Structure formats: structure tokens, C-alpha cells
Amino acid sequence: MHAIETVAIIGSGNMGSGIAQKSAQEEFDVQMVDREEKWVKRGQEIISNLLDQALERRIFNNQQIDMIKFRIKGVVGTENISPKTDLVIEAVFEDFNIKKEVFSILDSVCNENTILASNTSSLSVNDLAKATNRPDRFVGLHFFYHPAKNRLIEIIPAETTSEQTLQAVENYCKAMGKVVIVCKDRPGFVVNRFFVPWLNEACLLLEEGVASISQIDSIACNAFDIGMGPFALMNLTGPSIALHATDYLAEQLNTSRYRGASNLREIVSNNELWEIDNNTEYEKSVEEIVKERLLGQVFTVSAQIVDEEICSKEDVDRGAKVGLRWNKGPFEIANEMGIDKVFKISKKYCELANMDIPALLQIQKELDMAFDFSYVDIKIDNDIATVILNRPEAMNALNVDLINELGLKIDKLNHRDDISTIVIEGSGKAFVAGADVKFFVDKIKDNSFKEIYDFTAHGHNVLNKIENSPKITIALTTGLSLGGGLELALSCDYRIGTNKTQMRFPETNIGIYPGLGGTQRTVRICGIEVARYAVLAGNFLNAETAKAFGLITDLVNQNEILNTVNKIVSKGKPINKYGSQKIDDRNSIVIFAKGFYSNINIKDILEGSKPKDILNLDQNMVSRQIKLLSYTAPIALKTAAELLEIANSNDISLTEGLSEELNYLEEIFSTKDALEGLSSLIEGRRPNYTDC
């Protein structure tokens, strides 16, 4: 399978320029194409303005912005794109004939290996694929506004799309840090299927005189725990888009309920926006009607999506949380309300809309159970099993449910004779961004240390199943690997990283220590001095530093990941995991770590004094390190240092060292610093430690 490296975007409006910008940010070579030079220049101006905003917010520096712009080449005329382009994404107006004309030109210009994609939010991908001469190399992509900021993307393979095409496009989307939902080609796909009728239902409530615009928005915000109601959202994206999308769904699904409300048509006809005032007071009876109508519509359509096997209920919730930025997905809200109430309001909506109540809701009502969720997906390709941690809306943070499910699935894979290799990866831009901090805070406040201990001990058990697996184990640490996520990665035989990899142990900064093997496995990989650098001060490690430390075993380009996995498989399981990877003694950070965190200096460091043996070290780096250490919780720092020393002892096995990590848990979580540090992370403030 040829990896995607070059991309062309047909259309330089807000969506097209956004896709071009995001692709260039992720180091793809991009052609941004439009019919006339003035439109290409407009697209470049849109990108420049957004990048200027990013510069002001310190997201990018001037050099990075120059490189992003350098990667984007303006092209006038679809016929003038490079024939060797790997992926061409059409992002023109939602008109089938216009898109068909674009693809006809692309078929004649592009070589046989080029993949064609349509950024469509409504049109049939199967019909579009048939309109090309390469239906096997065609796929639908639904980017969400704004493509450079919104992390969600829906990939819609046609019935004719080859597995190689789908995999290549999925890898491209993952390289851009997108949260990917692969779904069936059905009208509205996933998010728009429930979201667009939700907007129209709000218009119908207004039209019927049930409540005012501001009242409906306020009730919706409270019911769905969201920041903007339906009318404010339509004002943001444009009422005309909502009208076009809801009329399309009404036609394609033969559902008259979705036909655009007359007040929505009037607003669009007059080229106006909704007038939203500040009068949000309403009677309880009004609230109940609006709430039940909007929730009933979302519950019904979300269940229809699952019934039709468009995607899973987890993906429906993921689409709401990532794509729409809802705090909770429809099925999570349903669980909070209870299936009896959900069934009643869905049935009421179905009677109003002349629909059949979805089978999923009927079954769940009969079972009288909450919806269960899966956060760990398994893909099998020959003898390689890929374990996908699929909780991207929470950066794949380790919570009780995810750890439990991961343990069960690792158990099953360990016992399968047809599996040689287990690859673990995270969905979205993070591998795993640590453990669920709120869990720790809640348990400390409830004085429920046992639950903290049980969770951590079970985490040890799961990581030990990976550590001692008879299979080759590989972690794809191609994004953020923080705290517990880094500890999970270290339990694997190999760790593949890319230039997007960032690793960090932040624990001492938040009043605790790495408790899932971080103090023990890191020393065995890096050596005591380098492990101190990684663990004690919470230093961020970029990909090059992580590779020099041995925390990454294979540093490759995103496009080389699959080949690297295959090379590792052919190499086999390492005889001595902790002796096969050497650190790079020539690396400047390694040299500094060995000097600053030497055995001579460690006593001064732990006492808060300036180390004595630092004359030959870079003094700017020394100053930065002392500053970082000053931000740590004193007890957490000393405890982590003690555990690192235990790991460094020749007389202590890994098993014994891990046991010691657990033994220190009650001591550290009993401190005021632990509650202060963990709470400060949730609250987004700097902690104030008291050393007690």
C-alpha cells in the first residue's frame, strides 16, 4: 500500500482552505486548487489570517508558519494539478453534477494510483464513486468546520472502495490527529443524521409557539449540557446550511418531519439571522415540552443509526462530543436519565413524527438495563492484532472501564494461537494522556483510598499481562504519551514513535508519583540518572529525546509505521527487553541528565539546594531544571526518588519493585499535596504545596 504524502484540495473556500491548512500543518505537500487566481488568493488570505491568530495565541511561531505556507502551492484549474498526487479531495459546492464534472477532469489528469475523495456532508458516496473511472480508489470524507481545528472526521467508504484505499485514507486522517469514524453511506452519515433534524425540531417548536428563540436555546443548553443552543449554532454556521441539509434528509429518508420549517425558510429567504435576546425565563411546563421534544428526537435518531449499522453507539457519542463539542453523547445522556424515561419520550416523539420506535430502544427497555460502552476495539490482520484505545474525547485517559476492558481483551489475545503480535494504539492525537484525574480527586474527597489502590493494583495486573505476554507487543506512541499512558507503553516490547510523539511523567507536579510502573521500568530502560530527569521534574520529552533515552525503540515517519511493525514482527520478541535498547550517550539531553542528576547531586536536589557538581553543564539548562523542580510537590519528589533507587538496586526484581510502588500509594494519596496537585490540574491553576 502506497502511503499518502501529497494532497490536492479542489476548492479554496472556508472548507477547502481549512483542509489545505491542516494538511500542511501536518507536513503533507499540498496543492490548493480553484478555477480562478482570485479564489486561490482568497484561500491563501483565509489561511494567513488564521495562522496570524495562531501566532498571537502562541500555537505556532514564525518559522512554523513560514513552513506551513511553503507547503501549500496555489494552482489555478483542476486540470493543472500534478498527475502524481496521492490524494485529491474535492471540496466544492454540494451539487452532484458539479462534483461529477470535477471528478471527470481528475480521472483524465491523475495517474492510476491517485485516490479521489469528496468532502461531502450529504451526497451519496456510492453514487459519486460510480461517477468516476476509479470506484475502487474513491472515498467520502466529511470534515467538520473548521477543518484545521475540529478533530472529527467521518470516512465513508463506497461499496466499491478497496481495503487498501480505505487504509491509506484512514492513515492520512490519523496523521492529521483526526478522530476517525468509519461509517456506512447513509443520508446524513452519523452526526448530521441526528444533529440536523435537532436544529429543525427547534424551529418547529418556535413555529408552534411553544417557546421563544432564547428560551429554546437556554433549555437545550441545560438538557444537553452544551454551550450553544440550536439557534445560536445556526447563526454561527448559517441558517441556509441547516435548511439545505434538513430538506435533503427529508427527501432521502422520506421523512416529512425533517422538511425545513417555514420560519427557517423565511429566515433564509430574507438572508437574516435568528434574533436571540436575553429573556431566558420560562415555566416548568414549557421546559418539559422543549426538553422532551429535543431529547426524544436525538434518542430516536441515534438509535436508528445503530439499528441501521451505520456505526456503533460509541461512535455516535464520539461524534457528538468531538464533532459538536457536546460534553456528553446521546447514549450517555440516556443512561443518566434511565431507559424507562428515554423510551417514553422517544415513543412520544415517534408518534408525533409518524416513526416506528427503534429496535435498539425496545430491546434496551425489555432488558431494563443501561447502555454498555466499549472503549477498546480489536482489529485482526493475519497474525497481527491491533488494540485501539478508543476514548479520544478524553485523550484515551485510563479509567476503570477502559482498564478493565483492556485487561480482558489482552487476556483473550494472549491465549490465541493464531496471533503472534499485539499492537496497541490510541485513537485521535493522543496515545494515552494519563489516568482519569477526576477519579482520584473524587476518591480522596470521599476518603475511599481502597478504590484508588484497587484501580492502581488492577492497572499493574493489566500492564503485567502485556509485560509478560508470549506475543510480540508494540505500542504506537504516535502522539501524547503522558503519565499512565507512558507507563502502558513501557510495558510493551517495542515503542514506535513519530515526530508527533511527546512523552512526559507529570506526576510529581501534581502531588503524586508514577504508580503504574513508571519508576521501575524507566530505570531499567534509561539508567538511574536519565530516569531521574524523566521522572522527577516532569520534563517534556520530544521524539528525538525519547529515542535517545530508549523510551522509543523505533523513531519513523508516519508513513513508515506499517513497514516498521512488519520489520519488528520478523525480528521477533526480544530476549532481554531491558538489555536490548541502548541509550544514546552522545545526545545533549542524555549528557546533561547524567551530569545534573548524578549520585553526587541528588541529595542537594531533594533538599531543594542548588547542586554543586554542575560547572561543566549548560547553565541555562541548569536554571530551567531547578525551576521545574521548584514546581514539584516535595513529598512526591522524595517518594519518586526513593522508588527510582529501589529500581536501581541489583537485588530487586521488576516484580518486587512494582510491589513497592503499590506499597507507597497510601502514603502519597494521604497527603494534602496529592489533593491540591490533582485538583489544580482539573481547575487549570498552579498548585500551592505545603509539604504535608
- CATH architecture label of 376-683: Alpha-Beta Complex (3.90)
* Fold (topology level) of 6-182: Rossmann fold (3.40.50)
Decide if 6-182 and 191-367 have a common fold.
Answer: no
Which bin fits 77, alpha (ψ -120 to 50), beta or left (φ > 0)?
left
With 0.85 as the threshold, say if the pTM is over it.
yes
289-304 pLDDT, tens digit per residue, is: 999 999 999 999 999 9
As a three-state string, the secondary structure of 53-81 is: HHHHCCCCCHHHHHHHHHHEEEEECHHHC
Task: Report DSSP letters for 583-642, one per residue.
Answer: --TTSHHHHHHHHHT-TTTHHHHHHTPPPSS-TTS-HHHHHHHHHHHHTS-HHHHHHHHH
Percent of the chain with pLDDT over 90: 92
The neighbour count for residue 345, using CB atoms within 10 Å, is 21
The predicted pLDDT at position 1 comes to 57
Nearby residues of 425 by Cβ (< 8 Å), 6 or more positions away? 386, 387, 388, 389, 431, 475, 476, 478
- CATH architecture label of 191-367: Orthogonal Bundle (1.10)
Q: Where are the domains of the chain?
A: 6-182, 191-367, 376-683
- Kindly report the CA angle at 441 between 440 and 447, in degrees rounded to 5? 85
Q: How confident is the model at residue 419 (pLDDT cuts 50, 70, 90)?
A: very high
20-57 pLDDT, tens digit per residue, is: 999 999 999 999 999 999 999 999 999 999 999 999 99
- Report the pLDDT averaged over residues 393-419: 96
587-643 pLDDT, tens digit per residue, is: 999 999 999 999 999 999 999 999 999 989 999 999 999 999 999 999 999 999 999
DSSP element (H, E) containing 89:
strand 87-90
